[in-house]
Structures are given as C-alpha cells and as structure tokens.
Amino acid sequence: MKMEQENNSKGLTARILGEQPTALQKTLNKTISQLLHHEWVGPTPTHDDSFIQQNLYRLYHTIVADLDIEDVRFLINQEILLDDMMPIALGYLRMNILAEGDFYEGDLLNAVLSVSNIFWENHLELKMSLKNIINENLGVIESSDIPRKVIRNTENFLFDS
C-alpha cells in the first residue's frame, strides 16, 4: 500500500496547486531554494551528516510540483515554507485524511496539527479549511488504527482553537 500511495502522490502536488489561487500556482515550477530566496550554504551533506541535513539538501533542489506527501510532511515538521506547504498538505488531506508519509498512517495530518497556534491565528482561512476537512472525515479518523496522539491532536485542534 505504501509504494502504491507513493507512486500515486507523484504529480499530485502539481494537480493540488493547479486548483489553488494563481499566486500558489506560480510556485509549481520553483525549487524550495528559489522560494526561500536562499541558496544552500556550506558543503554538500554526506552520509555522515544527519538525515535532516541530507533531506533538506535534496529538497532545496526539488521543484514544488515534484514534492510527495513525505516531502510536504517533512517541510511542515521543519516549519519551512508553511505558507506554501500548508495548502498542498490540505489538498492531500482532502483526498485522504490519513495520507501517509514515511512513518505511519495519518502522519501528514499529525504534522499539520502540530504547527503552532500562531500560524493558525494568522491563517484563519486555512484553519477553517482544515476544520472542515477534519469534520467531514471524523468517522474515518475515529474508525482507523492511527496512533492515539493523532486522535488527541485532532480533538485538541477542533475544540481548543
């Protein structure tokens, strides 16, 4: 199932952004480095460097249209380009509330729910979209075998914010 989902997610970012406002569509053919307006500084990471450094280096040179679920989850967890990544993440969650990166079913949802309240306070439209997506999929979430922390974070997001 994991490999099938990974193959199916290729090109989905482009399709998700294609349904977004024009400003977001303009990010499709840009690399993460271009969006950050910052080139990689320092040596190219090697196998001796941390996974985070190696993955960030890889993603710096990846165009947004080629990002998969795991890439989006990783960037959100690192709080990189949240303004650009969150609409993509919500698009994935609209298609599958339990979208899975490399760790477990629902790990993208958990990453999105773990973003600071300050982000959500400054992005009320995205916050309402996420609440709607969650409410439309409560049955799926509650009947799934996802980690308890994802359910707890979902409840906290719905009722504490």
> pLDDT tens for residues 50-78?
999 999 999 999 999 999 999 999 999 99
Q: Can you tell me the distance from the alpha carbon of 107 to that of 34, in angstroms, rounded to the nearest whole number?
A: 27
Q: What are 78-109's pLDDT values in tens digits?
A: 999 999 999 999 999 999 999 999 999 999 99
DSSP state of 20: S
Domain ranges of the chain: 2-160
pLDDT at 44: 93
pTM reported for the whole predicted model: 0.86
Nearest alpha-carbon partner for 108 in 79, 73, 151, 59:
73
Instruction: Provide CB contacts within 8 A for 19, sequence distance 6+.
Output: 91
pLDDT at 7: 45
Q: Can you tell me the distance from the alpha carbon of 159 to that of 46, in angstroms, rounded to the nearest whole number?
A: 44
**Looking at 6-20, 39-53, 76-90, 146-160, which range is the least confident one?**
6-20
- Name the percent of the chain lying above pLDDT 70: 84
